[in-house]
Amino acid sequence: MDMGQTISKKIITWYKKHQRSLPWRSYTSSSDRDYKVLLSEFMLQQTKVSTVVPYFNKFYKKFRTIRALSKSRITSVLKLWEGLGYYRRARNLHQTAKLVLQKHNGKLPDSFLDLKNLPGIGDYTASAILSIAKDQPFIGIDGNVKRVISRVFNLKHNKKLLLSIEKKLNSMKVKKGSSELMQGIMELGALLCLPIRPGCTKCPIKSHCISFKKNTFKDRAKKKSYQIKYFNAFFITKNNKILFSFNKKFNFLQGLVNLPLVEVATNKHNVTINKVFKKALIGSSSVPLVKYKMSNFLMHIKVISLSNVIFNKTKYFWLGQKDIKKFTISTLAKKLLQVSSNHEK
């Protein structure tokens, strides 16, 4: 047996014994498996497993099949997604469920191209679905897979890294057990082959791992540096109601309810108020700067409390506490509301 196949066999055996018990790993039928893998893969894009689990359980309890999801209203889907962030995923998932029903008779397609034609499904997600749900010889390359494979084969971190990984993965593909292999590599990356201080002594493939033998770990965790963007958010209350807007402008808050928000070049707020409202008075309370991390930038938000505001009624609206619960409020909006309300008291 060649090296790639031996490594795969060891990973599969290890995975069967050490896999974490996750809600999308148990299923009652092949269609239940398809749906759970689809849902988990959408939720896991940009989000870690421990965060996803409670959202997955809540979502699955409400929508148990692709058909049920496709018949639902987007507002219900977004409400269940509330707090998980990256709401575009929820919209894409909803659209995907509708298309699976319309074009594929409710059955998740088992071809790479058909999957990639669905919203929110790229190369990685299509490969992950085909291997995990359909047991086909595909291996999606995410951060964990990349780290494990580049270490095992001690691959050079240059422009050709991805190609080299694909080549090695091709030598590891198996005729039986593709699902366990893909999940096994990912699980190894999540549990043992960590970015820093990997648990090599417990690793099932340490005898084949060149990085372990040479003690060369290329990809230590680097501190991510974020570009800073400046924003003003406006906190305006009247008769126990708060002024909100639907965000159409910022992709990261698509269609969610938020405090009026505007990006500024600097933190000089007096300029932006005139751009947002026809007239307003600046309140006296001073709210500390709110910092909020998005996937690729850091928001510095100055919250400005205003009164006597004259605004465009097509853009802004008042909501009382009871009404707020009916809408999908972004995590950012919740944070801004909490900070602002604390300083109003």
Q: Which of 192, 242, 273, 276 forms a contact with ligand SF4 (CB under 6 A)?
A: 192
Q: Can you tell me the distance from the alpha carbon of 232 to that of 266, in angstroms, rounded to the nearest whole number?
A: 10
> Of the ranges 2-10, 50-58, 74-82, 195-203, which one interacts with ligand SF4 (CB under 6 A)?
195-203
Task: Give the 3-state DSSP-derived string for 35-76, with helices as H, strands as E and coil as C.
Answer: HHHHHHHHHHCCCCHHHHHHHHHHHHHHCCCHHHHHCCCHHH
Q: Tell me whether residue 203 or residue 301 sits nearer to ligand SF4 (CB atom).
A: 203
Q: How does DSSP assign 94-118, residue by residue?
A: HHHHHHHHHHHTTS---SHHHHHTS
CB of 182 to ligand SF4, least distance (A): 16
The reply on whether position 18 binds ligand SF4 by CB under 6 A is no
CB of 129 to ligand SF4, least distance (A): 25
CB of 215 to ligand SF4, least distance (A): 10
Q: Which of 77, 148, 290, 299 forms a contact with ligand SF4 (CB under 6 A)?
A: 148
> Of the ranges 38-46, 69-77, 197-205, 274-282, which one interacts with ligand SF4 (CB under 6 A)?
197-205
Q: Which residue's entry shows tokens 């269940």?
A: 80
> Of the ranges 68-76, 174-182, 205-213, 224-232, which one interacts with ligand SF4 (CB under 6 A)?
205-213
Q: Can you tell me the distance from the alpha carbon of 84 to that of 48, in angstroms, rounded to the nearest whole number?
A: 10
- For residue 266, report the phi and psi dihedrals to the nearest 5 degrees: -130, -175
168 token code pair: 């090695």
Q: Which of 36, 151, 168, 302 forms a contact with ligand SF4 (CB under 6 A)?
A: 151
Site for ligand SF4 in 210-229 (CB under 6 A): 211-212
> Of the ranges 59-67, 106-114, 200-208, 321-329, which one interacts with ligand SF4 (CB under 6 A)?
200-208
**Contact present, 272 and 260 (Cβ < 8 Å):** no
Half-sphere exposure of 297 toward its Cβ, with a 13 Å CA cutoff? Answer: 11
Q: Which residues, including other chains, have CB under 8 Å from residue 266's CB and lie 6 or more apart? A: 230
- Tell me the residue type at 13: T
180 is catalytic: no
| Active-site pick, 41, 82, 187, 344 | 41
Q: Which of 108, 209, 276, 337 forms a contact with ligand SF4 (CB under 6 A)?
A: 209
**Count, residues near ligand SF4 per rule CB under 6 A:** 14
Q: Which of 4, 120, 198, 260 forms a contact with ligand SF4 (CB under 6 A)?
A: 198
CB of 165 to ligand SF4, least distance (A): 13
Q: Can you tell me the distance from the alpha carbon of 51 to that of 37, in angstroms, rounded to the nearest whole number?
A: 16
Q: What is the DSSP letter of 24?
A: G
> Of the ranges 23-31, 61-69, 138-146, 194-202, which one interacts with ligand SF4 (CB under 6 A)?
194-202
Mark 157-190 as b/e (b = at least 16 C-beta within 10 Å). Answer: eeeeeeebbeebbeebbbeebbbbbbbbbbbbbe
The reply on whether position 165 binds ligand SF4 by CB under 6 A is no
CB of 55 to ligand SF4, least distance (A): 29
Q: Tell me whether residue 63 or residue 153 sits nearer to ligand SF4 (CB atom).
A: 153
Q: Can you tell me the distance from the alpha carbon of 68 to that of 33, in angstroms, rounded to the nearest whole number?
A: 15
Binding site for ligand SF4 (CB under 6 A): 148, 151-152, 192-193, 198-200, 203, 205-206, 209, 211-212
**Residues recognised as catalytic:** 41
